[in-house]
Amino acid sequence: MKINVNDNILSLINKTPDMLMTGIAWRVKQRRLEKRWTQKALATKAGVSLPSYRRFESTGEISLRSLVMLAFALDMTEEFESLFNNKTYQSIDDIIKTEQSKQRKRGNKNE
Q: 70, 28 in Cβ contact below 8 A?
A: yes
- The confidence band for 1, taking pLDDT boundaries of 50, 70 and 90, is very low
pLDDT (tens digit per residue) in 57-68: 999 999 999 999
Distance CA 50, CA 101 (A): 49
Residue 50 covered by a domain = yes
Q: Which CATH number characterizes residue 51's domain? A: 1.10.260.40
pLDDT (tens digit per residue) in 65-93: 999 999 999 999 988 888 888 777 777 87
pTM over cut 0.85: no
Residue 104 covered by a domain = no
The mean pLDDT of 38-48, rounded to a whole number, is 98
Number of domains, the chain: 1
